Amino acid sequence: MGRGQKRNVTRSGGKRVVSFASDWLSRPQSTWPRKALFQVHLWAGLLLGFYVAVVCASGSSVVFRNDIYGILSDKVKVVPNGPALSREQLAEVLRRAHPGYELREVKPGRDRQEASEVTMSRPGSRLRHLVNPYTGEDRGPAVSPWFRLFEWLSNVHGYLLLGPSGMTANAIGGALVACLCLTGIAIWWQGVDRWRQGLTIHRDLGWKRLIRELHGVVGIWVFGFLFMWGMTGFSFVFPQPFRATVNVLATSTAARALQRQVSQAAEQSFVIPLRQPLTPSGRVLHILSLAHYGNFAGWPVKSLWMLLGLTPAILYGSALFMWWNRVVRPAMRPRATGSEMIPQPRDRAQV
């Protein structure tokens, strides 16, 4: 190939790149990558949507888990005051407080500072309450079902009820969700002149167009959160890529200075510190953990995280509606046969 031919090929390739960039900025719907990404986003969203909705909804339900644990733990605490009542004495106290009920079971607390859980019953009714084992004071309904509920929800969110292998599967799912978010942002892009229209839902729309815009608007506003949740979930099981990236970006001088400070402090005190200062990568992973659970800035951030965790259910539901209307419903319609398409002759009496 001569020089002139090489120049022509280079110019032709350059023109195609410029033309594609121009189309992507002005008319992205006409480009083939956007059409391909739409198919990827559609089918990947249908496969992953239910998983994302369940994991995020269960995560929303346990955002305030530690706060609720604190409230429930305060209800369980008692002050030891002499010897505990015998079963007969406790049954007599409860019989006076709940006429007609008989004591069936007593579960002592884990230590002397925890209330006992009792089960009482009568024909057609059953009660599980907390009582002070030293005085017989009824402290209201038992809280152990709440602890079991939050434990189950935490298991759903972190392990998918699959044990240790579920956490690995969850991490891989988080990475796939992050990729799904990237395809979604590419599909949402409407061009330089129209991208602002994709930030709000317009009025006077048919229900099909309304669901489509709802999906796009909700998706663009929660894109950053879903991408962050997916990547931070991946980092909990596979932290090595994040550590390597931070270590490359961190200056070697600062790392060596930190190591010298730790070694000098250990030599001067002749005591090995129980917990060394966090490395730069450790600090980044700690920040990712705080961001994933919303454990910063108090209850306002936790409340926001709890509400945002419910948005994947909206995205999945709207995606199912669009898939049904675009793919399933047209396929279910009876196709017109050739004979049906031929116009029938008119009756002569009508002519």
pLDDT surpassing 70 at residue 270: no
- At residue 216's C-alpha, the angle toward residues 215 and 221, to 5°, is 105
Angstrom distance (rounded) from CA 228 to CA 238: 15
**Residue linked to tokens 């599980």:** 128
pLDDT surpassing 60 at residue 92: yes
- At residue 312's C-alpha, the angle toward residues 41 and 176, to 5°, is 45
The pLDDT, as a whole number, for residue 210 is 92
- Looking at residue 218, its amino acid is V
Is 136 a domain residue? yes
Tell whether 205 and 144 lie within a shared domain.
no
Is 156 a domain residue? no
Burial 21-32, CB ≥16 within 10 A → b, else e: eebbeeebeeee
Least confident of 18-32, 89-103, 202-216: 18-32
Is 19 a domain residue? no
Sheet with 138-141: list strands edge to edge.
102-107, 116-122, 125-131, 138-141
Tell whether 88 and 217 lie within a shared domain.
no
Is 46 a domain residue? yes
| CB contact at 8 A, 155 and 215 | no
The β-bridge relationship of strands 125-131 and 138-141 is: antiparallel
Q: Of 88, 52, 211, 58, nearest to 149 (Cα)?
A: 58
Tell whether 88 and 41 lie within a shared domain.
no
Is 344 a domain residue? no
What percent of the chain is modeled with pLDDT above 90?
58
Instruction: Work out the pLDDT band at 242, boundaries 50, 70, 90.
Output: confident
pLDDT surpassing 80 at residue 336: no
Residue 274 in tokens: 């129980």
pLDDT surpassing 90 at residue 179: yes
* Structural domain for 247, as ranges: 31-63+163-330
The β-bridge relationship of strands 116-122 and 102-107 is: antiparallel
Cα Rg, the chain, nearest whole Å: 32
CA distances from 298 to 63, 127, 287, 290 (A): 11, 36, 15, 11
Mean pLDDT of the region 223-249: 90
Tell whether 185 and 207 lie within a shared domain.
yes
The residue ranges of DSSP E strands in 99-247, in sequence order, are 102-107, 116-122, 125-131, 138-141
Tell whether 98 and 47 lie within a shared domain.
no
Tell whether 53 and 83 lie within a shared domain.
no
What percent of the chain is modeled with pLDDT above 70?
82
Is 1 a domain residue? no
The last residue of a domain, from among 105, 125, 151:
151
Tell whether 47 and 76 lie within a shared domain.
no
pLDDT surpassing 60 at residue 252: no
The last residue of a domain, from among 129, 151, 173:
151
Angstrom distance (rounded) from CA 42 to CA 239: 30
The last residue of a domain, from among 128, 151, 174:
151
Is 168 a domain residue? yes
Structure pTM?
0.77
Is 87 a domain residue? yes
Q: How many separate domains does the chain show?
A: 2
Residue 75 in tokens: 């209800």
